[in-house]
């Protein structure tokens, strides 16, 4: 049974470019979460969806960040324009309505 | 303001001995607690959880203890194995539904 799938695994881009991170949650899970991990701030929740609807985006750093979930099997996190301070590992996680979240392998983003 | 804290950034233990990882929280609304394990270049994986109605939960070599009055939980690994070497995150959720708040992590090194 496939877990949470994220792509790409690594992304290197230049400042000012648009970056799109992708996530496929575990089939049947109705919650999807986007996290960012940095040395300074640890693992922080950016936004989460329930049944494809954004529920809480208070963790999104600023307007340069946006997330969508057009259907139950796909979500994107977009950064436009990207800045060097956005460099981090971005994780997607999903859950079946309980508290246990299952994480993807992450996307390591480097903005030069 | 960190609501979940892991005060030990690292811990070194001899193989076969007990590993004890600690976690403190400040928000009395938290009612469900989880431990995740993370290997390099992978996403966090769920290890064990405990509800606030219990004070202990055991799963094989892993036991989580919860002291609500002290707002403290701990993860015991007995016996420790070299494969347990990883970063361990404590997480908590409360009335906000599925949102998890993570601690900063503790790096466990089990020496053969």
DSSP string, chain B: --SEE---SEEEEETTS-EEEEEEE--TT--EEEEEEE-TTS--EEEEEEETT-SEEEETTEEEEEETTTTEEEEEESS--GGG-EEEEEEEE-TTTT--EE---EEEEEE-
CB contact under 8 A, A105 and B93: no
The span from the CA of A40 to the CA of B112, in Å, is 31
Which residues 43-72 of chain A have a CB within 8 Å of chain B? Answer: 43-45, 48, 50, 55-56
CB contact under 8 A, B43 and A50: no
Residue of B nearest to A97 (CA): B98
CA B48 to chain A, closest CA, distance in angstroms equals 9
How confident is residue A39, by pLDDT bands cut at 50, 70 and 90?
Answer: confident
Which residues 59-98 of chain B have a CB within 8 Å of chain A? Answer: 89, 93, 96-98
Cβ-based burial of A81 (10 A; exposed 0-12, middle 13-18, buried ≥19): middle
B7-57 pLDDT tens trace = 999 999 999 999 999 999 999 999 999 999 999 989 999 999 999 999 999
A87 touching B (Cβ < 8 Å): no
Inform me whether the pLDDT recorded for A17 exceeds 90. yes
CB contact under 8 A, B105 and A42: yes
A74 touching B (Cβ < 8 Å): no
Q: The tokens of B43 are what?
A: 């996403």
State the average pLDDT over residues A22-36: 95
CB contact under 8 A, A103 and B43: yes
What does each C-alpha distance from B62 to B21, B23, B45, B78 come to in angstroms?
Answer: 11, 15, 14, 7
Residue of B nearest to A103 (CA): B43
B45-101 pLDDT tens trace = 999 999 999 999 999 999 999 999 999 999 999 999 999 999 999 999 986 557 889
CB contact under 8 A, A48 and B49: no
Looking at residue B102, its pLDDT comes to 93
The span from the CA of A70 to the CA of A92, in Å, is 15
Q: Which is more confidently placed, B102 or A2?
A: B102
Looking at residue A65, its pLDDT comes to 96
């Amino acid at each position: 049974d496939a877990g949470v799938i994220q792509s790409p695994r690594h992304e290197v881009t230049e400042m000012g470019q648009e970056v799109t991170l992708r996530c496929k949650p575990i089939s049947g899970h109705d919650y999807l979460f986007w996290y960012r991990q940095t040395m300074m701030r640890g693992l922080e929740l950016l936004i989460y969806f329930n049944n494809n609807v954004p529920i809480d985006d208070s963790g999104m750093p600023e307007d340069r960040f946006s997330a969508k979930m057009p259907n139950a099997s796909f979500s994107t996190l977009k950064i436009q324009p990207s800045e060097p301070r956005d460099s981090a590992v971005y994780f997607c996680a999903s859950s079946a309505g309980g508290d246990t979240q299952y994480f993807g392998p992450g996307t390591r983003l480097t903005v030069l | 303001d960190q609501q979940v804290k892991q005060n030990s950034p690292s811990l070194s233990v001899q193989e076969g001995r007990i590993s004890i990882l600690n976690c403190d929280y400040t928000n009395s609304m938290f009612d469900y607690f989880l431990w995740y394990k993370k290997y390099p270049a992978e996403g966090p994986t769920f290890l064990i959880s405990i509800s606030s109605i219990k004070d202990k939960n055991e799963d094989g070599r892993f036991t989580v203890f919860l002291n609500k009055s002290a707002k403290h939980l701990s993860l015991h690994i007995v016996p420790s194995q070299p494969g347990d070497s990883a970063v361990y995150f404590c997480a908590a959720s409360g009335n906000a539904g599925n949102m998890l708040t993570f601690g900063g992590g503790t790096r466990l090194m089990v020496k053969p």
